[in-house]
Amino acid sequence: MAVDVQGQRHDRKALILYGSETGNSQDVAEELGRMAERLHFITRVSEMDLVEINTLPDYTVVIFAVSTTGQGEFPENARKFWKSLLRKRLPPDCLSHVAFTTFGLGDSSYPQFNFAARKLHKRLEQLGAKEVYPRGEADEQHDQGIDGTFLSWSVDIRKHLLSLYPLPDGVTPIPQEVLLPPKLVLELQEDIPGPTQVSTGSQIHQANQIHHPAAEPATPDTFKQTGNHNKMERTPSQSIYDFPLPLEEEPVVCNQLREKFDGEPHDDPDSNFPPFKAIDIPNQFQVVLLENKRMTPRNHWQDVRQLTFGVSNEEAYDPGDVINIMPKNFSEDVQTLIDLMGWKDVADIPVSFVASPPDFYHADNLLSMAPGLFPVPRGTLRDLLIHNLDITAIPKRYFFELISHNTDDPVHKERLLEFTNPALSDEFYDYTSRPRRGILEVLQDFPSVKLPWQRATQFFPVMRCRKYSISSGGTLKLSSTPGTLKFQLLVAIVKYKTVLKKVRQGLCSRYLAAMPINTHLKVTLADGSLGFEVSKEYNPLILIGPGTGVAPCRALIWERAAASLLDTKITNNETILFYGGRNKRADYFYGDEWQFQYLCLTHVFTAFSRDQKEKIYVQDVIRREKKEVWRMIAKGAIIVVCGSSGKMPRAVREAISWVMLEEGGAEKFPKGREDVEAELKRMEKRKHYLQETW
């Protein structure tokens, strides 16, 4: 039951903390921040790891938005905070003055669904924190994704907060039609600050994002044009954040999104490959592309690539590790946006980032730079659009709310606002998610929308790294060049036509498909969800990796083979592989390798769903090979499931459960299904049932 903590606070300060791996929890946190801001809370939105737990009681209310990664773990940017909550010397009532709630983001195809949020919620209560509103949980597998739960939960918590912390007489919430001020704006600069600085008047800040407690509606006379390049001069009585629409210009013909599509992908889909420019991302290192090899026949419907990179041998990696690659937008798409918005006069002039000087609560800890934004040093607006802002992402509801303020066409404005209405969710999804319509296409559909370039970081989401499991291990790491290693990725190129006859391409896979040999780029290395230490794990392995899910399985197989050669005492290293694809001829990735005696594979079982009249999947073959599977489980095998999230991992877990019940019988599982489920949970806890899906 939620606890009413009204009376414990006489101020209005909200702290919204997020733990995010792919950015979804950050999006939720920012939306909650805007909600709190409209209720006149002085609001701070931050990564969990940037906050100390002893500051939590300083806020009226604390809301956590936390995703679950891997085998029930916290995201990377929340682990430090979580560990600080686990300190044994913490008094049991140290958070008794904290009013909180949590919202979890998870994927029900994982056994540890929303485990991080549940653990966090329970631990906060153990330390005396008071639940101000019941925890919410979102499921990626919902028909409407995260929104399936979040929309109703956010509406309800807004009402609850307004009830718990009523506004003074005469003060009302900031209405939805009033545009909240951006936290960061662009300014043309000839002499700009250093590469990681943000101008804030008299200060340079280094922490997270700020939300202001008030907003004023934009007015058409806020600024007057001065000089060239649409430079703005603020009138004395107006906010620095209120920009008018750009001056009307002669209409220009803008490029359209690429429509070349003859039913098959091309080896060189885009000749104008994005330029390389250094971006200062923490812990990144340089690699060079050695090979970009198509793994499927040219007449196959899907283009799957093996990319081989050279890297310094100082960057050692293990099976299960992932490479984070920052994609780039292609120049022609960026030019399309520049032409469409009328930004050509300012596109190639260096810009700096200007934030409002924070002059209120906890100002020293507030960051003006948008979280995750790593701009090109001395970069231009064009650089920002190529390297930092995702202009082809599927837009969120908030995007339509923002752009509705930047059109003078009443029909367009009405339509854009319809997409922000939660009651019209079906229309929103029919227009955005289902046809995979991107931001750039939306702007082409609504040509009356003209966005001020100064607010670019408010309109477009920050580009985020894409994660790819490393597919090489053991001797595959070796390079002919002294002092270097190799790593390989297996990447399915996303490129298809929708029912609208529009070409859809994945942002990063398109970038990788077009990447020329000898391209230098910078990447980061991270632990994957498997958390596998091959040198210590000599149990038998049951690997289940359909499609590109075979990538981390291959890395494990080759690493185990190398470990067996180096350590002659290893005797219990049996490995069986279940592989699934559509056609043996077209997508049996690495099938020729599995015959190598050196790899010591005990068995390879395949399921090619389209090679016979009746469709067969890996879960069907697991049931067929029940005696071999049970023999391995009985010997303490570690089960590793890799590939697409959704139906596959659930079907595989059900098949494993069936095998255990069928072969173990009443002797091993006297309570039947109940005992089998309990044993699977024990296997998950001791990391003998692992899942890496995407």
pLDDT at 109: 77
Alpha-carbon separation of residue 276 from 330, 350, 378 (angstroms): 12, 17, 14
Question: In the structure encoding, which two tokens stand for residue 7, read together?
Answer: 């009376």
pLDDT at 71: 73
For the stretch 635-648, pLDDT in tens is: 999 999 999 887 89
pLDDT at 72: 80
For the stretch 482-504, pLDDT in tens is: 889 999 999 999 887 766 667 78
Give the Cα separation of 577 and 550 in Å (integer).
Answer: 9
Give the Cα separation of 443 and 338 in Å (integer).
Answer: 11
**Residues making up the binding site for FMN:** 20-25, 67-70, 140
Alpha-carbon separation of residue 368 from 184, 204, 457 (angstroms): 6, 8, 12
Are 96 and 64 in contact by the 8 Å Cβ rule? The answer is no
Burial 112-143 (b: 16+ CB within 10 A, else e): bbbbbbbbbbeebeebebbbbbebbbbbbbee
Question: In the structure encoding, which two tokens stand for residue 289, read together?
Answer: 């592309």
Are 551 and 471 in contact by the 8 Å Cβ rule? The answer is yes
pLDDT at 191: 52
**Residues making up the binding site for NADP(+):** 548, 609-610, 615-619
Give the Cα separation of 196 and 278 in Å (integer).
Answer: 12
Q: What is the 3-state secondary structure (H, E, C) of 276-300?
A: CCCCCCCCCEEEEEEEEEECCCCCC
Backbone φ and ψ for 79, nearest 5 degrees, come out as: -70, -35
Are 596 and 557 in contact by the 8 Å Cβ rule? The answer is no
Mean pLDDT of 180-195: 72
Alpha-carbon separation of residue 106 from 25, 27, 103, 223, 530 (angstroms): 10, 14, 10, 45, 17
What is the helix (H) or strand (E) element at residue 83, kind and residue range? helix 79-85
pLDDT at 587 over 90: yes
Quick one: pLDDT band at residue 9, thresholds 50, 70, 90? very low
269-278, 284-293, 473-482, range with the lowest pLDDT: 269-278
Are 579 and 588 in contact by the 8 Å Cβ rule? The answer is yes
Question: In the structure encoding, which two tokens stand for residue 560, read together?
Answer: 């185990």
399-403, 632-636, 644-648, range with the lowest pLDDT: 644-648
pLDDT at 121 over 70: yes
Question: In the structure encoding, which two tokens stand for residue 498, read together?
Answer: 């929708």
Give the Cα separation of 465 and 521 in Å (integer).
Answer: 13
- Give the chain's mean pLDDT: 83
What is the helix (H) or strand (E) element at residue 126, kind and residue range? helix 115-126
pLDDT at 534: 54
pLDDT at 81 over 80: yes
Residue 636 region, left (φ>0) first, then alpha (ψ -120 to 50), else beta? left
Euclidean distance between the first and the last CA atom of the chain, given in angstroms as a whole number: 35
Quick one: pLDDT band at residue 572, thresholds 50, 70, 90? low
For the stretch 134-185, pLDDT in tens is: 999 998 888 788 888 998 999 999 999 999 999 988 889 999 888 888 888 8
3-state secondary structure of 536: coil
Give the Cα separation of 601 and 613 in Å (integer).
Answer: 29
**Residues making up the binding site for FAD:** 436, 466-469, 506-509, 694
Rg value, the chain, Cα: 27
Give the Cα separation of 32 and 157 in Å (integer).
Answer: 10
Q: Which amino acid is at 193?
A: P
pLDDT at 530: 75
- Tokens 């920009």 belong to residue: 243
204-218, 551-565, 633-647, range with the lowest pLDDT: 204-218
pLDDT at 265 over 70: no
Interhelix angle for 647-668 vs 673-685, to 10°? 120
For the stretch 52-62, pLDDT in tens is: 999 999 999 99
pLDDT at 296: 95
- Tokens 């800890």 belong to residue: 365
Are 579 and 619 in contact by the 8 Å Cβ rule? The answer is no
Give the Cα separation of 234 and 83 in Å (integer).
Answer: 47
pLDDT at 603: 95
pLDDT at 208: 37
Give the Cα separation of 176 and 184 in Å (integer).
Answer: 20
Quick one: pLDDT band at residue 237, thresholds 50, 70, 90? very low
Please tell me the pTM assigned to this model: 0.81
What is the helix (H) or strand (E) element at residue 398, kind and residue range? helix 397-403
32-41, 112-121, 498-507, range with the lowest pLDDT: 498-507
Torsion from C-alpha of 51, 52, 55, 61, nearest 10 degrees: 50
Half-sphere exposure of residue 319: CA atoms within 13 angstroms, side-chain side: 28
Are 623 and 652 in contact by the 8 Å Cβ rule? The answer is no
Which residues, including other chains, have CB under 8 Å from residue 665's CB and lie 6 or more apart? none
pLDDT at 359: 41
Q: Which amino acid is at 561?
A: A
Interhelix angle for 147-164 vs 24-38, to 10°? 30
Which residues, including other chains, have CB under 8 Å from residue 498's CB and lie 6 or more apart? 435, 436, 504
**Residues making up the binding site:** 20-25, 67-70, 140, 436, 466-469, 506-509, 548, 609-610, 615-619, 694
Alpha-carbon separation of residue 54 from 63, 117, 161 (angstroms): 15, 20, 23
Q: Where are the alpha helices (DSSP H) in 323-380?
A: 331-341
- Apex 436 CA angle, 434 and 440, nearest 5: 140
What size, in residues, is the chain?
694
Mean pLDDT of 395-418: 95
Give the Cα separation of 694 and 691 in Å (integer).
Answer: 10
CA 384 to chain centre: 20
DSSP E strands: which ranges in 235-345?
285-294, 304-312, 322-325
CB-based burial label for 624 (10 Å; 0-12, 13-18, 19+)? middle
334-338, 364-368, 601-605, 635-639, range with the lowest pLDDT: 364-368
Half-sphere exposure of residue 68: CA atoms within 13 angstroms, side-chain side: 28
Strands 322-325 and 520-526: antiparallel
For the stretch 504-533, pLDDT in tens is: 888 999 999 999 999 999 999 988 777 666
Give the Cα separation of 273 and 330 in Å (integer).
Answer: 7
Write the DSSP symbol of residue 73.
Answer: B
Give the Cα separation of 558 and 555 in Å (integer).
Answer: 5
Are 540 and 637 in contact by the 8 Å Cβ rule? The answer is yes
What is the helix (H) or strand (E) element at residue 82, kind and residue range? helix 79-85
Quick one: pLDDT band at residue 268, thresholds 50, 70, 90? very low
pLDDT at 226 over 50: no
Q: Which amino acid is at 688?
A: H
pLDDT at 373 over 90: no
127-131, 392-396, 645-649, range with the lowest pLDDT: 645-649
- The more confidently predicted of residues 193 and 570 is 570
24-28, 247-251, 274-278, 366-370, range with the lowest pLDDT: 247-251
Which residues, including other chains, have CB under 8 Å from residue 153's CB and lie 6 or more apart? 103, 136
Domains along the chain?
13-164 (3.40.50.360), 285-327+465-526 (2.40.30.10), 541-693 (3.40.50.80)
Backbone φ and ψ for 48, nearest 5 degrees, come out as: -60, -40
Quick one: pLDDT band at residue 209, thresholds 50, 70, 90? very low
141-145, 190-194, 471-475, range with the lowest pLDDT: 190-194
Torsion from C-alpha of 304, 643, 147, 433, nearest 10 degrees: 20
pLDDT at 369 over 60: no
Q: Which of 67-76, 302-311, 364-373 has the highest mean pLDDT?
A: 302-311
Quick one: pLDDT band at residue 355, thresholds 50, 70, 90? confident
Question: In the structure encoding, which two tokens stand for residue 281, read together?
Answer: 């991302």
Give the Cα separation of 653 and 299 in Å (integer).
Answer: 34
